[in-house]
Structure 1
Amino acid sequence: MEACMDFLDRLDRDISLKILTYLEDPSDLLRASSVSRSWRNFVIVNGLWKQLCLRMFPQLSRVSHVFGLNKVSTKELVEAGSSYSKERESLERDDRAYSLLARACTSSIVRDCILQPISVSSTDNYPEESINNTLQPADIVARRVSYWLSRGQSNPVVTERLTYKLADEFCVITEINIRPFLAYFQSGSPLYLVEAVRFRMGHPKGPMGVGNDLLSDSYPVSAYEKFIWTYTSQEFPMAQESCLLKFKLPEPVLCVGGILQIELQGRVQRQEMAGSLSTRMSYVQVMGRPLSPTFGVEILEPSGKFVLKIKHNTLVKFQTQPSIPSADHFQRRRTYFQHILSIPTILQGNLVDDIDEIEMSEEEE
């Protein structure tokens, strides 16, 4: 034991700091801060948790300050080997906040983060073919085929935008999953796809409601300008397949404000009757880690900065979400729907009248 030495005491501070910044796993930095009081003090004073979080999520550079529920007592600060001061209290609060945040962003359960749709650029037939249908995993709901349909356009480069409110105003998004709509009831079962997709995340400029007036009409320029986009992804080419297409982001993105927009670019399919180019979407899923109720945010306008709030001093775990329906499930649904069309069935719009006469498995029911 006499031969042991602490390199933090022997090496220059900058060299020691350089060494510890190589710890990129939150669990490793947690272990380092638990070695001794001197190591913990080094981690706190140099803001290593904050540096780690900034490397993980550049969006945190917009944090104005951290607000914590509980202040550090004078006794705790004296025991840590430091006199009480406002600066030290701030360092302790940041250390606690960013250490919790780093662990929450890497260890909490990944689940579907969509709460509800906010607006859509266009809808061909509201409400039967509205954006609300994209939240339904099943392709048949209440005896109707479930999908969103845009208005037809002669120009293939017209972009469609679907905007959603997430379940949390502060969450980490890892991937967006989209299932295009396969029109079983049309000749050749066409796929109403687009050439590419792009994703934006951000927050509203001010309080806004969600109502049918935004969902039923064309997407106004004023509505688009109500959001501040703090992240824009690359363009992802869309595979021409009738399955759940997964778009994994290159790095997890911290969405501050809880607004996500899907931008659909390049129409490729014409409607059977009208002949115009349309886009149809069956299902949208946003996978990520909500960070409440442990954390909250307050957007500071007009600067765009935000206050990071600690609501709980421990991580709150979420229940696991139902799994995504498998490819086999959708294949069974396709076979089932084709069976409906192959028998004498009266179709009124998209309504299947004789659906009860078809035998269904327990899972499909």
Structure 2
Amino acid sequence: MEARCDFLQWLQMDMSLNIFMSLDDPSDLIRASAVSPSWHHFVTANGLCKQLCLRLFPQLSSVSFVTEPSCGLKKSADVGSSNSVEWEALEMEHRAYAFLVRALTTFTPKDCIAEAISASSTDNFPEESIQNTLDPRDRVLRRASYWSSKGQSDPSVPETLIYKVTGNLCVITEISVQPFLAYFQPGFPIYSAQSVRFRMGHPRSPEDVESDPRNLPLQHPADDKFIWTYTSQEFPMTQENYLQKFQLPEPVICIGGFLQIELLGRVQRQEMDGLFYICVSYVEVMGQSLFPAFDVKNLEPSGKLLLKYNPEVQHCASPISSYRQPLATSANMLHDNLRGLELLLNMLHGNAPDHEHNDWDDDDDNDNDLDLVPM
């Protein structure tokens, strides 16, 4: 113990970076930043929490600014800067990305559709509106509940459905679509698509869409009002009446809060008019909103994104508080979670914990003490 030393003092910069960047668990990286003042400075100055976040979620590469309510707008500072203002920006980025990457990697998915925005076409509006796809029941008030496209003689004509998810920053893991079975038509036809594809993005003009998405007409195309920053692979659908789940290869951040479902190829012709239709009875999007702890804003006309981080809501019940396990219901669990949050906040500010009083050696308490958000 007398001969121990800090490897940062002996290794070259590149080698030290390689060692720290091999930590792919956010908790490990945060622990490392709390070992000593020099390790905290190294992790913070080199933006390692941000690098880990971008490595796991490359969609965030479009974020150029970070802000906290108490700090104002900050642009990413240069590594190695000794200027106090630039160091303050680095410290803020460290805190924001540490909480963000932890939140993005530890959550329990739930349905996160906020509202239906528009469909590329609707056969009979409002009876067959996209709004019907938000209700899992196939009948509402004794009427069939589904969305129907207009009929097409060409089965290759696609259709699109656009939804707003909860918050402008939402991590999505799975999308499910249930084709509609027309139980009132001869032969009980199922109007599915051949395949589906998913896009995520943000509005071209925040003033027109973000202020009130309901201004968009539900029965007309609205694709030209959005910029899609993510496009999934194409998933085959089966012509069966059940909720078909399409799991994304890895969780994807929906930056901007809008999701498009592309329905590709038609398989069912309607007997009465000989045209091909696509009908959907229910849509479900599984993921987790990061609002209100995190939000994003499109900075026009540059197109750069502003990441807003509000640490104050970490103390409040919020969507993020559902990560990993249900809200604490006992006084002891609440005390442990608040104590763990206090420990983490101290670590993010570079204050090493008192090793005589910490509980890291207790396996039962390890997870709770290092959660980034209160349960």
> Structure 2 matches for 1:193-212, cutoff 5 A?
193-206=192-205, 207=207, 208=209, 209-211=212-214
Cα distance, 1:230–1:134 mapped onto 2, change above 3 Å: same
Shift of 1:148: 0.6
| TM-score, normalised with respect to structure 1 | 0.79
The residue that corresponds to 1:338 in the other structure is: none
Residue 217 of structure 2 aligns with which residue?
A: 214
Equivalent pair of 1:205/1:301 in contact (CA under 8 Å) = no
1:19-71 Cα shifts (integer Å, max 9, x gaps): 11111121221222222222212110111001001111112111121111234
SS at match of 1:309: strand
Instruction: Give, in angstroms, the shift of residue 185 of structure 1.
Output: 2.6
Q: Deviations over 1:153-211 (max 9, x none)?
A: 00011010101111111111111111111222333322111111111111111122444
Give the match for residue 225 of structure 1.
224
Q: Deviations over 1:231-250 (max 9, x none)?
A: 11111111333221111111
For 1:126-141, list aligned pairs within 5 A: 126-141=125-140
Counterpart residue type for residue 126 of structure 1: F
Corresponding position of 2:355: none
Q: Which residue of 1 aligns with 2:16?
A: 16
Q: Would you say the 8 A contact 1:163–1:262 is kept in 2? A: yes
C-alpha distance 280-53 of structure 1, shift in aligned 2 (>3 A): same
SS at match of 2:186: coil
CA distance in 2, matches of 1:51, 1:87: 18
For the residues of structure 1 that align with 2:12 and 2:313, how far apart are their CA atoms?
34
Structure 1 runs of 4+ aligned residues shifted over 3 Å read: 209-213, 313-317
In 2, Cα distance between the equivalents of 1:261 and 1:24?
A: 31
Match of 2:177 in 1: 178
- The verdict on how the C-alpha distance between 1:26 and 1:213 changes in structure 2, with shifts beyond 3 A counting, is closer
Q: 1:71 to 1:214 in 2, by over 3 A?
A: closer
- Equivalent residue for 2:273? 274
Query: Is the contact made by 2:191 and 2:239 (CA closer than 8 Å) also made in structure 1?
Result: no
Higher alpha-carbon Rg: 1
- The question of 1:120 aligning with 2:119 is answered yes
TM-score by length of structure 2 reads 0.77
Corresponding residue for residue 166 of structure 2? 167
Match of 2:53 in 1: 53
Q: Which residue of 2 aligns with 1:288?
A: 287
Structure 1 counterpart of 2:8, one-letter code:
L
After superposing the two structures, state which structure 1 stretch, 239-248 or 260-269, moved more: 239-248
Q: Identify unmatched segments of 5+ residues in structure 1.
A: 73-81, 322-365
The SS at the match of 2:265 is strand
Which residue does the alignment assign to 1:86?
Answer: 85
CA displacement at 1:314 relative to structure 2: 5.8
Partner of 1:361: none
Deviation track 1:247-272 (CA, whole Å, cap 9, x = no partner) reads 11112111111111111110000113
Q: Give the whole-Å Cα distance in 2 for the aligned partners of 1:253 and 1:303.
A: 24
Question: What is the match of residue 328 of structure 1?
Answer: none
In the alignment, the residues of structure 2 paired with residue 47 and residue 284 of structure 1 have an alpha-carbon distance, to the nearest angstrom, of: 39
Size of the alignment, in residue pairs? 308
Deviations 1:288-337 (A, max 9, x none): 1101110111101233211111122564543769xxxxxxxxxxxxxxxx
Higher mean C-alpha displacement, 101-110 vs 42-51:
101-110
Residue-by-residue CA offset, 1:67-101 (whole Å, 9 max, x unaligned): 112349xxxxxxxxx97611110110110110011
- C-alpha separation between the residues in 1 aligned to 2:232 and 2:303? 19
Question: Does the CA-based 8 Å contact 1:125-1:149 persist in structure 2?
Answer: yes
Three-state SS of the structure 1 residue aligned to 2:311 is: coil
> Contact 1:109–1:317 at 8 Å: present in 2 too?
no
Secondary structure in 2 matching 1:215: coil
Partner secondary structure for residue 195 of structure 2: strand
Tell me, what secondary structure is at the counterpart of 1:214? Answer: coil
The separation in 2 between residues aligned to 1:287 and 1:59, in whole angstroms, is: 18
Say whether residues 1:145 and 2:144 are aligned partners.
yes
Are the aligned partners of 1:193 and 1:269 in contact in 2 as well (CA < 8 Å)?
yes
Identity of aligned residues (%): 58
Which residue identity is paired with 1:278? Y
Question: What does the per-residue CA deviation read over 1:78-130, in whole Å, with 9 as the maximum and x for residues that have no partner?
Answer: xxxx9761111011011011001111112233221111111111111111111
On the 8 A contact 2:171/2:287 being kept in 1, the answer is yes
